[in-house]
């Protein structure tokens, strides 16, 4: 099964959605699952250092009072906490995520699903739980090493523009596909699911797709037998 999704590391719904998807995969004990992550910068022009609080940005972005913004932030935080995530959204330090996405491309290049998943988990944790700045190359270097990436390769990527084109291509594909928000999931290149579904709904989606795969394999076997493959 192939699951493609677009996300950004400073998006709380992405953190929640991906966590729920992983729980659904674990619930069904699915082994042959390939996760194909794609970049989607919510703000490509975000600063390299944190310049405003989550409360200020949320209030300005949605044109609501700080009181209403705080209520929404607390609601999102509670959703994450209920899912077992240590989210400190109010004190998150918003910065540019381009380098984090480029580092993810390096992990993808390794073709090691364990490294890819660990890096993604660590990047979300760094932003939402530890409130670190994801534009900080020292932070990214430490995360990359902890995820299992080669230190020299990480340094080469962070000190160059490597994988910039790949990140931009992801975003162009998203635009061409009509993706305007994240998280956005596509299962086996045909079932599109926007947003952070509850874990139970992800389970239902995965069950349906697994059933389709089993039917397709059975049909292929029957055709093969009838044609003496």
What are the residue ranges of helices labelled H in 92-158?
A: 98-110, 113-128, 137-147, 151-158
Give CA–CA dist 8/12, Å, rounded.
9
Instruction: Tell me the Cα Rg of the chain.
Output: 19
Residue 31 has a pLDDT of 87
Residue 216 has a pLDDT of 75
Secondary structure letter of residue 130 according to DSSP: S
pLDDT in tens, the chain (229 residues): 999 999 999 999 999 999 999 999 999 999 889 889 999 999 999 999 998 889 989 999 899 999 999 999 999 999 999 999 999 999 999 999 999 999 999 999 999 989 999 999 999 999 999 999 999 999 999 999 999 999 999 999 999 999 999 999 999 999 999 999 999 999 999 899 999 999 999 999 999 999 998 887 776 677 776 666 5
Strand partners, 38: 6
Residue 53 has a pLDDT of 83
Give CA–CA dist 8/15, Å, rounded.
9
Closest Cα partner for 202 from 217, 191, 213? Answer: 191
Residue 214 has a pLDDT of 84
- Show the domains of the chain with their CATH numbers: 2-224 (3.40.30.10)
* Chain position carrying tokens 């991906």: 18
Residue 45 has a pLDDT of 94
Do strands 2-7 and 34-39 pair parallel, antiparallel, or not at all (unpaired)?
parallel
Which pTM does this prediction carry?
Answer: 0.91
Residue 229 has a pLDDT of 58
Do strands 191-194 and 184-187 pair parallel, antiparallel, or not at all (unpaired)?
antiparallel
């Amino acid at each position: 099964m192939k699951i493609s999704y677009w996300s950004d590391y400073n998006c709380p719904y992405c953190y929640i959605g991906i966590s729920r998807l992983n729980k659904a995969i674990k619930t069904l004990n699915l082994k042959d699952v390939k996760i194909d992550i794609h970049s989607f910068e919510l703000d490509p022009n975000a600063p390299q250092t944190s310049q405003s609080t989550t409360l200020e940005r949320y209030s300005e972005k949605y044109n609501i009072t700080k009181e209403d913004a705080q209520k929404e932030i607390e609601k999102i935080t509670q959703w994450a906490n209920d899912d077992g995530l240590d989210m400190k959204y109010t004190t998150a330090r918003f910065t540019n995520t381009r380098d984090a996405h480029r580092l993810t491309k390096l992990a993808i290049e390794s073709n090691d699903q364990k490294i890819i998943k660990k890096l993604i988990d660590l990047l979300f944790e760094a932003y939402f739980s530890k409130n670190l700045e994801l534009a900080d190359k020292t932070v990214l270097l430490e995360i990359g090493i902890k995820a299992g990436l080669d230190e020299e390769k990480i340094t080469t990527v962070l000190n160059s523009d490597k994988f910039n084109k790949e990140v931009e291509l992801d975003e162009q594909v998203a635009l061409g596909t009509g993706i305007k928000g994240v998280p956005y999931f596509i299962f086996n290149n045909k079932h599109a699911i926007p947003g952070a579904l509850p874990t139970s709904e992800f389970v239902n989606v995965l069950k349906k797709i697994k059933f389709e795969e089993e039917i397709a394999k059975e049909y292929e076997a029957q055709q093969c037998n009838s044609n003496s493959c």
